[in-house]
Chains A and B, each alone.
Chain A
Amino acid sequence: MSKLKYIGKKLMQLILTLYAIITFNFILFRIMPGDPIRLLARSGAISAESIARIKELFGLDQPMWMQYFIYLKNIVTGQFGISMTYRQPVSSIIAERMANTVTLLAVATVMIIIIGIGTGIVAAMRRGSRLDKTFVVASMVGWSLPTFWTGLLMIVVFGVFLKIFPISGILTPGMQYATYSQVIMDYAKHLVMPTIALIIVDMAQFFLITRSTLVDVLTEDYMLTAKGKGLSPKKALWRHAMPNAMLPIITTLALYVSLVIGGAIQVETVFSFPGMGKLMYDAVLKRDYPILEASFFLMAAVTVTANFISDIFYTIIDPRVKDI
């Protein structure tokens, strides 16, 4: 099978998967018990006229198949309608949250990859050493601690006692900035604690996968050959060991990237960070269909695309892949 054919096949799979997810999302939200209008009525006196107008506004007075076609049309045209809660265009609400989430998670992901893979290599090279053991234990502890607890502890220590970092949000409320560089510095300061929390929690995934695959690879015969050829351990690592260890790491990476859009609900909640995770959580509670539909669609699209890209990467790293 040629490379092009392989990519074509994967692309077809991508489109079919997306369509299936889109349809599933539509059904899922509508079979969830409860509806967005009912609870509106609960918090106060609402007239029957208002309820009818709200239903019409969100197309809830239409038959189900019609709602489904409107929904498909919205996705194709990129118009997600207006939020039931905020009565604002979904696209503008999501764009802002997305910018925050992508910033936080992109920074965190890059750092997690660098630190996770880096420590993984060091640990594998010195397997059994005290350093290795320390890394393993530390990453396992970080992974096992409840995110919420880790975050709160950081808030109390660095935010309340030491007062080094702000504990919430993305900008200091009420702050007046003289220049844009001050805005950026303030923003960066707010990113520090959530980023570190994410690193503590998620680093283990990359550390452990790198370490274990590399330990396997390092004991292969060809590594002995490489050593026998007189390659330095460093050269042997980069030329022979790493390329062979990359596949599982890329898989982990592809799975992790979908989080960059979906946000990290726990970290976002504890640091009051206005990202996608928090937005979706609230939208589920309020049954805000337009927000749910748009954000689940984006999340699915990114996950599927990340998998598609990693499939292509496989073919580059391991030419055998396209034959499977």
Chain B
Amino acid sequence: MLKYKKALGLLLALLVTAALFAGCGAPGNVTVGGEGGHILKVGWCTEPDTLNPITSYSTESLQLTSLIYETLLGYDANMNTTYQLAESYEYSNDNKTVTYHLVHDAKWHDGEPFTSADVVDTYMRIKVDKLSEAVQFAEHLESVTAPDEYTVVMEFSEPQAFNMAFVVPILPKHIWGEMSAEEIEAFPNNEPIGTGPYKFVEWKQGTVASVARNEDYHGTQPGPDGVTWVLYGNEEVATQALKAGEVDVLTEVSATLFDSLKDAENIVAVNLPSYSFHYVGINCYQDPVSQGNKLLLDKTVRQALAHCMNKAQMVEICLSGYGQVGTSILPSAFDEWKHQFTDEELIGYDIEKAKSMLEAAGYVDSDGDGIREKNGEKLDFRIFTVETTASDVRAAQLLRDSAELAGIKLTLTTMDENTMGGVVYDTESADFDLFVWAWDSDYPDPGYLLGMPLTEQIGNNNEVYYSNPAYDQLYSKQSTQVDAAERKATINEMEKMLYDDCAANILWYQDKLQAYRTDRFTGWQECDGGIIYCPTYVNYKEIQPVE
């Protein structure tokens, strides 16, 4: 018996030695001392790319940087305008000039005062160096000037339907001002300094990221003492962590796990409208270099394929019912802009219709192999999906099976996302026919998603190589329409046009499935896009600790 005890003792000693070794190396700069508090803990399975807000392209980075940095304007839970670094603003009569009056008492986290020079510098960076995603909104930006320390005037060549002040994070000139565009591109921004309600604490890649309440914040103090994001290897474990109380809220819950959380104690599971869609893209590239099947340039073939998409069944099977059947390119969270399609306009699931359309267009199965052809060319296409996106693979299988009924052969190939990107974005070959993929918008404005199928976006966001001058024209028109009703009319026309052309066939709008605990914080607000991950970030700021 003694021997076993010795052996056990040895093992424990080993563990402790290892921990000692680790203690010197791995944890690095841990906080020793101080007192704990009401820290909001968020569980997620993807981590930020970089904390540089103008070179980052990930939703996760945006979570941190949106709490550390501020924009001039913001949103409340109902998407009404709120003020961050601006305390008021006005438009000129022609809507081309916007004047912002800035808050006077804001300070950068390092103690430097915030002034109009910071705003001018940030906007000029975007305009001149073409940095940041916000560059898409700066096309008509002519000049940014500061008549005094707390006033900024922006002049545009056209009226702006979307005000970029909602999305441009203001950076401190005393840190970013001296850097060249190349330096900014390589700048990891390891210690971000902003004016926001939270100060950056740390980011340990692969584990946690934290921010703490900014006691000198110029606006309303946030409820939590800090926010910590914890990285999990996968959703199953993250869900267990929520149940165990290790975290307070999850950014993403899969449909299968979602049901298991519904009855859990102190946990609320919510499904909310999202800013994302999944779609079947069809290669419409008209350039001779295209390796895509030319039969897909025939709108009839694309519409016949659209008639083979049983979207309602897909929502049931691929999403366990947590989603809405897709129509236009604008997801469900954009309901105030969306066109309500009439039964006549809808291209519904109808195999017979698909058959008769193809028949009428001269696609017949003359050799009896079950595949229709015209002039010897068979309706035989490839369909690609990302192997790890189970819902898309399933959708592609369902489409393949129903297309077969209509006499169209689809061959499914799955691949990793980067490989698919390489194939789809290659303007030299565009070697694909159909794919199933997803898209989402970090912006609450419809302009971003509507801009995807523009001719000028071929090789960039236009993955289906759609090119329609009438659509492009309408896009330019809506981007300058300040009147919401007029803009909506233009947008609806674009939605219908795109829907009818069947280049990007929206399958569904997935619900945002999230879950949060109610025993540590109260006052959670449900927003479009999610409890967190919504464009408002209200829950990071307004929830209060349970006493």
Contacts and interface: CB of A to CB of B under 8 A. Distances in A.
Interface of A: 32-36, 38-50, 53-54, 56-57, 82, 85-88, 93, 96-97, 99-100, 103, 106-107, 110-111, 114, 118, 152, 155-156, 159-160, 163, 166-171, 173-180, 183-185, 187-188, 191-192, 195, 268-275, 278-279, 285-287
B135 A38 contact: no
Contacts of A275: 206
Interface in B394-442: 415-423, 425, 442
Nearest to A103: B22
Interface stretch (B28-36, B214-222, B314-322): B28-36
Contact of B36 (A111, A152, A175): A175
Contacts of A54: 185
B14 A110 contact: yes
Q: Which 5 A-B pairs have the closest CB atoms?
A: A274-B206, A34-B418, A34-B422, A188-B19, A269-B233
Contacts of A38: 418, 421-422, 425
Nearest to B210: A174
B20 interface: yes
B32 A179 contact: yes
A154 to B, nearest CB: 11
A34 B207 CA distance: 28
Interface in B32-53: 32-36, 39, 41, 49-50, 52
A110 B415 CA distance: 39
Contacts of B236: 152
A160 B190 CA distance: 34
A169 B244 CA distance: 14
Contacts of A87: 49-50, 52, 55, 185-188
Contacts, number: 237
A49 B34 contact: no
Contacts of A286: 418
Given A103-B18, A180-B32, A171 B421 contact: no
A171 B52 contact: no
15 contacts: A33-B419, A36-B418, A42-B463, A47-B130, A49-B129, A87-B49, A96-B204, A103-B25, A111-B14, A163-B244, A173-B230, A188-B19, A269-B234, A274-B204, A274-B207
Contacts of B288: none
Contact of B188 (A43, A86, A271): A86
A35 B422 contact: yes
B16 interface: yes
A256 B420 CA distance: 35
Contacts of B187: 87
A187 B129 CA distance: 45
A96 to B, nearest CB: 7
A176 B188 CA distance: 27
Contacts of A163: 244
Contacts of A99: 22, 25-26
Given A99-B22, A168-B237, A184-B19, A274 B30 contact: no
Contact of B33 (A48, A110, A176): A176
Contacts of A167: 237, 240-241, 244, 246
Most interface-central of B11, B181, B210 (chain A CB within 10 A): B11
A294 to B, nearest CB: 15
B297 interface: no
Nearest to B232: A272
B272 to A, nearest CB: 21
B233 A168 contact: yes
B136 interface: yes
Which one of A54, A156, A188, A268 has the highest number of Cβ atoms from chain B below 10 Å of its Cβ?
A188
A170 B27 contact: yes
Contact of B32 (A44, A183, A278): A183
B41 A184 contact: no
A174 B228 contact: yes
Nearest to A266: B233
B146 interface: no
Nearest to B441: A44
A118 B8 CA distance: 13
A104 to B, nearest CB: 8
B49 A86 contact: yes
Contact of A187 (B22, B34, B244, B423): B22
Nearest to B182: A53
A106 B11 CA distance: 12
Nearest to B10: A114
Nearest to A155: B240
A269 B237 CA distance: 9
Interface residues of B, number: 80
A182 to B, nearest CB: 8
A164 to B, nearest CB: 11
A114 B11 contact: yes
B167 to A, nearest CB: 11
B19 A39 contact: no
Contacts of B19: 103, 184-185, 187-188, 191
A291 to B, nearest CB: 11
Contact of A100 (B22, B181, B460): B22
Nearest to A271: B233
A285 B395 CA distance: 23
B255 interface: no
Nearest to A48: B130
A40 B57 contact: yes
A46 to B, nearest CB: 7
A271 to B, nearest CB: 7
Interface in B2-24: 7, 10-11, 14-16, 18-23
A177 B442 CA distance: 37
A160 B420 CA distance: 39
B341 interface: no
B195 to A, nearest CB: 23
A155 B243 CA distance: 11
Contacts of A88: 50, 188, 190, 205
Nearest to B58: A43
Given A82-B186, A93-B205, A34 B26 contact: no
Contacts of A195: 15
Contacts of B91: none
Given A47-B135, A177-B32, A188-B19, 15 more contacts: A34-B418, A44-B442, A48-B130, A50-B131, A88-B190, A106-B18, A118-B7, A167-B241, A168-B232, A170-B27, A173-B208, A173-B230, A185-B19, A270-B233, A272-B233
Nearest to B245: A163
Contacts of A93: 205
B226 interface: yes
A278 B57 contact: no
- Most chain A CB within 10 A, of B130, B135, B206, B461, is at B206
A169 B208 contact: yes
B231 interface: yes
Contacts of B130: 47-50
A274 B205 contact: yes
B32 A188 contact: no
A97 B448 contact: no
Contact of A44 (B31, B57, B181, B188): B57
